[in-house]
Chains A and B, each alone.
Chain A
């Protein structure tokens, strides 16, 4: 039951993009086309869970025993950068079709604050390993859901008569605001 609440909470109530403002650069950057949005959502789903788990292990078995917790930021970003690089090389070699689909999104993920944010939130909320796994998975699913819904809305705007100064990012932000308002409705669920 706790896990269920955690999943609902992370996907809907405290959605990482719309409720906690993490990962907004790719949110606005890659949401103009549905295909790229889906590619980004999948790449984030994959990397975020993996990165959060490795970060958790690094924190528990390296930083805490050595009393180096103040180096957490540096350690985590190195873990993420190295992981992204490794995954990119691995996919290129062994799964070229998947690499073609995710390829260009992978380097962008290093600086996606949702990834580092989820890793840090796991530590802050004192999750154990299984909780970290469930929480990161839900966070990434929330990211994907919001991104894909948003891309669907934005595709429609291509043909709409929008006042010139509001075109592009400005309208994107306002739309995101109203989507965030809709997600607020889920607050009643918990």
Chain B
């Protein structure tokens, strides 16, 4: 596969969290607004690209038996960097994302890519894979975030969409709305792509 293909597969064919059902917690938790979704998405792109590159560079050095622990240390290091950068430059965003920034460490997408891709492939391909999957994740978060913000609060990026007479559908902003909305989107994705039949 070429570098370009490694990048684009993350945008549709393996787009998380729809095709790869991983990383659901941040997807559900931070998508109350588009702004939060973008903040989370960009942090994930950064961590995923950096950790993929470093792990790919170190793949011949890390012994097989302790690789998961080594991956987690690499990922945690970049997450701490994101945490500090965000506190320094985007304080209000870091407050609204709260504990979901440190929890990027346990976002299974990142560990999943390290294990499935970066541990076996070259640096450039791993970087492309990281940025691609990260961008796909951001797009998913943004689409779910847009739906929930437009219908749940009547705004898009803080701007009013339906005018002052709109009665917001508060269900969408709350926890149950997040689950139902993501479930329906997954259903729509299954209709558009090849239908994924659950194993009995």
Contacts and interface: CB of A to CB of B under 8 A. Distances in A.
B49 to A, nearest CB: 19
B186 A173 contact: yes
A170 B102 contact: no
Given A21-B25, A180-B175, A116 B183 contact: no
B178 A21 contact: yes
Nearest to B79: A73
Interface string A15-57: 0001111111100100000000000000000000000000000
A110 B72 contact: yes
B106 A111 contact: yes
B80 to A, nearest CB: 5
A92 interface: no
Contact of B187 (A18, A76, A165): A165
Contact of B25 (A25, A110, A178): A25
B63 interface: no
Nearest to A73: B102
A37 B187 CA distance: 24
Contacts of B176: 177-178, 180-181, 184
A38 to B, nearest CB: 21
Interface of A is mostly: helix
Contact of A180 (B84, B179, B197): B179
Interface stretch (A58-66, A117-125, A126-134): A117-125
B138 to A, nearest CB: 18
Interface of B is mostly: helix
A19 B25 CA distance: 11
Contacts of A181: 176
Interface string B162-200: 000000000000111111111110111011000111101
A73 B105 contact: yes
Contact of A25 (B24, B72, B179): B24
Contacts of B175: 18-19, 21, 177, 180, 184
Contacts of B177: 177
A33 to B, nearest CB: 11
Given A21-B25, A21-B175, A112-B106, A164 B195 contact: yes
A5 B154 CA distance: 35
A57 B107 CA distance: 25
Nearest to B180: A177
A116 B102 contact: yes
Nearest to A174: B183
B108 interface: yes
B22 A25 contact: yes
A101 B29 CA distance: 32
Contact of A117 (B73, B79, B99): B99
Contacts of B190: 164-166, 170
Contacts of B24: 21, 24-25, 28
Given A25-B24, A107-B68, A168-B196, 15 more contacts: A21-B26, A24-B24, A76-B102, A81-B68, A110-B72, A112-B106, A113-B103, A116-B103, A116-B106, A165-B195, A166-B190, A167-B198, A170-B184, A173-B180, A177-B176
- The 4 A-B pairs at the shortest CB distance, nearest first, are namely A168-B198, A173-B183, A177-B179, A177-B180
Interface of A: 18-25, 28, 70-74, 76-78, 81, 85, 107, 110-113, 115-117, 120-121, 124, 158, 163-178, 180-181, 184
14 contacts: A20-B29, A71-B80, A73-B80, A74-B73, A78-B72, A78-B73, A113-B107, A165-B187, A169-B21, A170-B187, A173-B182, A176-B179, A177-B183, A181-B176
